[in-house]
Amino acid sequence: MEDIQEILEDFLVEAFELIEQLDQNLVELEGNPDDLELLNSIFRVAHTIKGSSSFLNFDILTGLTHHMEDVLNKARHGDLKLTPEVMDVVLESIDLMKSLLHAIRDSGNDTSVGIDITDICRRLDIISNGEPVANVVVAAAEVDESPTPTYEENDDNTDYSKLSDKEVEDEIERLLKMRKEEDRKRKETSSAAKAAAVPTPSFESLKDGDEETPKVVEPIVAKRASAEANAPAKKESASAMEQTIRVEVKRLDHLMNLIGELVLGKNRLLKIYDDVEERYEGEKFLEELNQVVSSISLVTTDLQIAVMKTRMLPIAKVFNKFPRMVRDLSRELGKQIELEISGEETELDKSIVEEIGDPLVHIIRNSCDHGIEDGATRRANGKAEMGLIQLKAYNEGNHIVIEITDDGKGLDPDLLRSKAVEKGMITEREADAMTDKEAFALIFRPSLSTAKVVTNVSGRGVGMDVVKTNIEKLNGIIDVDSEVGHGTVIKLKIPLTLAIIQALLVGAQEEYYAIPLASVLETVRIPLDEIYTIEGKNVLRLRDEVLSLVRLSDIFGVKQVYEGGEHTYVVVIGLAESKLGVVVDTLVGQEEIVIKSLGDYLQGIEGIAGATIRGDGRVTLIVDVAALMNLAKGITVDIRASAEAVVKTKTVPSDYIVLAVDDSAMDRNIMKKSMEPIGVKVLEASNGQEALNMLKSAEYSIDAVLIDIEMPRMDGYTLAGEIRKYSKYKNLPLIAVTSRTSKSDRLRGVESGMSEYITKPYSPEYLESVVRKNIKL
């Protein structure tokens, strides 16, 4: 019983693969009806499915493929011309075949779904009988009122439907024996072929063998032969094709997760190395450590790429269904359309391949329906009657670009603008301010369609919205370009993988966020006075574009702890067809990050796509660019005004607080005494750790710190370094007060971030003046 189940599964996997191939070959054949090689391979595919399904007792499927095979066989012998009408029927029967196979997969038999094949069989019969070719000798011998099998040169003409159970069993027994015999023969043939060491596969010999082979034996032989016939250019030997192994996707996902952990570990190691390098500069062991760290980081990257590659599928998986689709559409719409595919070998992550299908279907349908004009119009416009759609895929850096080009009538930006205004999506003024590119982007808005009539292909204004949503989900970018009368180019730019991405780390006040680098177009540093406000919105003129601006800290409600300088950084992000400038306080840099989910509890927080763990072990949130763009619309903070409204709460000297850090109580007292004349409040800490905790707790707003260098627990240099790690303390005056007077000590003070360096002993007046200068009193 289990054996049967296994055979059934094998059959299904094989059948689905074959049928996909069949579809493609048939469409190709229509354009090239004399290609005997192609016809032969199609015939064999049909035959293989028939053979296997009769072996497994799927009578309906067997019957259907049998009738189909009749027609194909005639065509193969030149007795029948494959007109588009004939092809329609054949393709229709292939669709039926697919439904039957689905039924078999779901319910284990082909009878339960009640698919009726009598009509299609009758039509197939009419085709194979009804043509005037009936007088041809071969056909005459075979055409009968009953659907007699027409296996060419087969010694076996048994009609299984007429056999009793017992007879069927005997037949199977007999066929199995033959199959075994054939298997043995085949092995000999192929090993003989290998021994001959011919670079080309033993296609000829296989084909010969195949012709004498009874039908049940055929599946294996035919499959191999057709596979080879299908890829004659590759000239791969059959044995090379068996060098693959099917692996559960779940296992690969697990592997990918583990690699993710490894990448995090690597990032952490790199960070630690950086710290160590700073501290122990010039030490010998650093060299060795450096080698280990870089080799680990190299191997990790390679490993990651290797695992990513195992998850990659050629985009042909998706592209393959389009020739058939375009063919059907062109028949339905009464247009002549040719589809040209290139770059189908380009590889993409499996999860992306699964998502990309739908958007492409919609784009291509749109191109067929709205893009390409009918034959008469094209001729009148001086174009070739045959419309052309090009589907192209290629790699560009860490992205794959899919380009859909048609030579149809193109998009009319003015028409789009007026349509959008008519539907109330945009105002008249907005429409006037729109560039052509922005107008093209309107096609992605839901319920906007320029089609005058709604056909059952498109025109409802839903499809392109689907495109946008799906591409955004993949962090992709859509670019539309069009010229009236010449056609449209739609470019989809999609990242290669989803689990591990490159990100730009930015700081908003004291918080850090990761923006997927795929969505980052550029970063610029601008003076604040270049930000203008138009209708309550902040905008920036960047080259010839006007860019809306929004502060990241306004979107995420980040607590304002310090005010920036006169310049600020703008990260220009682009998603699908829109752009936005995000104002951030710091740019940290580019990093490879592993996307982690926030878990069920925090699922679906607007603006956050997930989290990652950085090299220092902290969690950094990843920005959801699509949601961010939405959130930005609701924010009306005047950036310039709020940046200029510096909150000056401290007016009198007693509002100011100076922190004195020294392990000697006497020294702290001297400092206190020296500052008495200024009238500031003085806090004390006896070591670096204590001082750091006071600063971290943010209980007091400290205006300056006096730091002794030599202290227990944490020395002055380390303290200064730690303080400078906080962006809000970037400009906090740190005054070293020490008896270390050598030049190298001073230098180290500067390196660790001290702003002043006072050597002991000092006069109280000197300290007072330095503090005054630094807190501007």
Partner 1 sequence: MNDKLNQILQKQQQQVDEPHKKEDDVIQLVGFIIGQEEYAVPILSIQEIIKPIEYTRVPSVPTYILGVFNLRGSVIPLIDLRSKFKMDPAKVTEDTRYIVMKGVDNTAGFVIDRLTEAIRIKSSRIGPPPETIHAEKGMVYGIGMRDENILTILKVEQLLKRDF
Half-sphere exposure (Cβ direction) of 741: Cα atoms closer than 13 Å: 5
One character per residue 662-701, x = contact with partner 1 (rule: CB under 8 A): -----------------------------------x----
Q: How many CB atoms lie within 10 A of CB 269?
A: 17
Segment lying near partner 1 (by CB under 8 A), choices 211-219, 468-476, 555-563, 657-665: 555-563
Token duo for residue 376: 């008469």
The answer to whether the peptide bond before residue 761 is cis (omega within 30 degrees of 0) is: yes
Q: Give me the residue label for tokens 């020296």.
A: 674
Check residue 370 and report its DSSP letter.
Answer: I
Residue number with CB closer to partner 1 (140 or 602): 602
| Shortest reach from residue 582's CB to partner 1, in Å | 14
| Shortest reach from residue 682's CB to partner 1, in Å | 23
Window 287-326: residues binding partner 1 (CB under 8 A): none
| Shortest reach from residue 621's CB to partner 1, in Å | 7
Phi/psi at 659 (5° precision): -100, 125
| Shortest reach from residue 266's CB to partner 1, in Å | 13
Q: Which of 442, 555, 639, 732 binds partner 1 (CB under 8 A)?
A: 555
Residue number with CB closer to partner 1 (183 or 606): 606
Check residue 110 and report its DSSP letter.
Answer: S
Residue number with CB closer to partner 1 (620 or 738): 620
| Shortest reach from residue 562's CB to partner 1, in Å | 17
| Shortest reach from residue 693's CB to partner 1, in Å | 11
Q: What angle do CA 414, 419, 425 make, to 5 degrees?
A: 115
Token duo for residue 596: 């982690």
Segment lying near partner 1 (by CB under 8 A), choices 201-209, 211-219, 332-340, 614-622: 614-622
| Shortest reach from residue 501's CB to partner 1, in Å | 16
> What region does 344 belong to: left with phi over 0, alpha with psi -120 to 50, or beta?
alpha
Half-sphere exposure (Cβ direction) of 49: Cα atoms closer than 13 Å: 31
| Shortest reach from residue 597's CB to partner 1, in Å | 7
Residue number with CB closer to partner 1 (410 or 607): 607
Phi/psi at 417 (5° precision): -60, -50
| Shortest reach from residue 576's CB to partner 1, in Å | 23
Residue number with CB closer to partner 1 (27 or 611): 611
Residue number with CB closer to partner 1 (334 or 599): 599
One character per residue 566-605, x = contact with partner 1 (rule: CB under 8 A): ------------------------------xxxxxxxx-x
Segment lying near partner 1 (by CB under 8 A), choices 32-40, 399-407, 607-615, 737-745: 607-615
| Shortest reach from residue 264's CB to partner 1, in Å | 7
Q: Which of 175, 506, 531, 611 binds partner 1 (CB under 8 A)?
A: 611
Site for partner 1 contains 608 (CB under 8 A): yes
Which residues, at least 6 apart from 743, have a Cβ–Cβ distance to it below 8 Å?
Answer: none
Window 485-524: residues binding partner 1 (CB under 8 A): 511
Residue number with CB closer to partner 1 (219 or 607): 607
Measured CA to CA in angstroms, residue 284 lies from 280, 287, 289, 290 at distances of 9, 6, 9, 10
Residue number with CB closer to partner 1 (221 or 691): 691
Site for partner 1 contains 454 (CB under 8 A): no
| Shortest reach from residue 289's CB to partner 1, in Å | 24
Window 218-277: residues binding partner 1 (CB under 8 A): 261, 264
Residue number with CB closer to partner 1 (164 or 697): 697
Which residues, at least 6 apart from 565, have a Cβ–Cβ distance to it below 8 Å?
Answer: none
Site for partner 1 contains 637 (CB under 8 A): no
Residue number with CB closer to partner 1 (101 or 504): 504
Residue number with CB closer to partner 1 (263 or 477): 263
| Cα(133)–Cα(131) distance, integer angstroms | 5
Segment lying near partner 1 (by CB under 8 A), choices 68-76, 121-129, 408-416, 609-617: 609-617
Applying CB under 8 A, the site for partner 1 has a residue count of 27
Q: Put the strands of the sheet holding 477-483 in their side by side order.
A: 337-342, 387-396, 399-406, 487-495, 477-483
Which residues, at least 6 apart from 252, have a Cβ–Cβ distance to it below 8 Å?
Answer: 307, 310, 311
Which among 149, 170, 164 is positioned nearest to 218, based on CA atoms?
Answer: 149
Which among 363, 353, 411 is positioned nearest to 390, based on CA atoms?
Answer: 363
| Shortest reach from residue 16's CB to partner 1, in Å | 35
Q: Put the strands of the sheet holding 756-759 in their side by side order.
A: 681-685, 657-661, 704-707, 734-738, 756-759
Window 35-74: residues binding partner 1 (CB under 8 A): none
Residue number with CB closer to partner 1 (315 or 508): 508
Measured CA to CA in angstroms, residue 354 lies from 112, 314, 494, 589 at distances of 30, 12, 13, 32
| Shortest reach from residue 610's CB to partner 1, in Å | 8
Q: How many CB atoms lie within 10 A of CB 686?
A: 18
Q: Which of 607, 615, 688, 749 binds partner 1 (CB under 8 A)?
A: 607
Single-letter amino acid code for the residue at 399: H
Token duo for residue 138: 């071969």
Which residues, at least 6 apart from 335, have a Cβ–Cβ distance to it below 8 Å?
Answer: 368, 372, 373, 374, 375, 387
| Shortest reach from residue 616's CB to partner 1, in Å | 9
Q: Say if residue 95 is exposed, middle or buried (CB neighbours under 10 Å; 0-12, 13-18, 19+).
A: middle
**Across the chain, which distance is largest between two alpha carbons, in Å?**
123
| Cα(701)–Cα(688) distance, integer angstroms | 17
Residue number with CB closer to partner 1 (265 or 375): 265
| Cα(85)–Cα(250) distance, integer angstroms | 45
| Shortest reach from residue 282's CB to partner 1, in Å | 32
Window 616-635: residues binding partner 1 (CB under 8 A): 617-621
Q: How many CB atoms lie within 10 A of CB 443?
A: 27
Residue number with CB closer to partner 1 (122 or 713): 713
Residue number with CB closer to partner 1 (202 or 553): 553
> What region does 543 belong to: left with phi over 0, alpha with psi -120 to 50, or beta?
left
| Cα(57)–Cα(64) distance, integer angstroms | 13
| Shortest reach from residue 612's CB to partner 1, in Å | 8
Residue number with CB closer to partner 1 (406 or 690): 690
| Shortest reach from residue 611's CB to partner 1, in Å | 5
Residue number with CB closer to partner 1 (16 or 556): 556
Q: Which of 199, 557, 634, 761 binds partner 1 (CB under 8 A)?
A: 557
- Interface residues with partner 1 (CB under 8 A) are 261, 264, 511, 555-558, 596-603, 605-608, 611, 613, 617-621, 697
